[in-house]
Amino acid sequence: MEKKEQKKRSKTEIILITVGVLFIVCMLVLPLISVVTNSLKEGIQFYFQSLASEYVVSALGVTLLATVIAVVVNTFFGIMAAWLLTKFSFRGKHILATLIDIPFSISPVIAGLAFLMTFGRLGWAGKYIEKINEALGTDIKIVFAIPGVILATIFVTFPFVSREIIPVLNAQGKEEEEAATLMGASGFRIFRKITLPHMKWALLYGIILCTARALGEFGAVNALSKTRGETFTLPLEIDALYLSGSADSITAAFAVSSVLVIIAVLVLVLRNFVEYKSKKKGKV
């Protein structure tokens, strides 16, 4: 009976593994391979020419700028929010925790439209921006400009850092910090010597996820970015190339897409490394 049960289990495992592998290959691996192969359809010279075009270089610069600023801002506020929610008790704590998760539940397109209706000409903040421009002779723009792209990227990536840190700090507890406080240590010293080392790997993991999400954002940025060559990010430039319809532009779209695929693979490798180091540390 035991041998029969073991055979049944082994067959079930083989079926499940086969189905899982086939699904991953068909849904993930083959499409990515297709992107890379189509990007080289016109040859390696055309591939690099596509990546060196003015629009693509501009889109890459905007993407990197928005990503770096979003990661820095979200890392800072993610650490502060996680520290506040796990180490202190105050009224509205659960409301704050819920508000942090809003970008997870709202469509990026809706987020982009919300910024548009806030900082655009019809928005309440847009009127004040126009008055400031008239008074100071400036030309400050939020929507359809780089600041709008950055704001949208920050919004959609906001929860990633804090949501990786919060479970780690909850598991750590407050005993070590309370003991250090009784011994006269300052708040910053407690954070630097006790809290930060505990959440180091979770913080890196959150930063990696935030970076990956920022690089691939399309919906929210699309609502706030309308000028190709100035405010387009790489995903928007890929969309513009593909929709142009010519054979060369479609191949160029795949070439630019391959850059995001390569970055995604590198981010995945880095994420797995951080996850491995985190688990290894947990076992020690």
Q: Domains in the chain, start-ordered, CATH in brackets?
A: 50-283 (1.10.3720.10)
pLDDT of residue 8: 61
Q: Is the dihedral of CA 127, 128, 132, 135 positive or negative?
A: positive
Whole-prediction pTM = 0.86
* Average predicted confidence (pLDDT) for the chain: 85
pLDDT of residue 70: 95
User: Could you read off the pLDDT tens digit of each residue along the chain, which spans 284 residues?
Assistant: 555 656 666 777 888 888 889 998 888 888 888 888 888 888 899 999 999 999 999 999 999 999 999 999 999 999 989 888 888 888 888 888 888 888 888 888 898 888 988 888 888 888 888 888 888 888 888 888 999 999 999 999 999 999 989 888 888 777 777 777 777 777 777 777 777 777 888 888 899 889 989 998 998 999 888 888 889 999 999 999 988 878 889 999 999 999 888 888 888 888 788 777 766 665 54
pLDDT in tens, 228-268: 888 999 999 999 998 887 888 999 999 999 988 888 888 88
pLDDT of residue 139: 83
pLDDT in tens, 17-41: 888 899 988 888 888 888 888 888 8
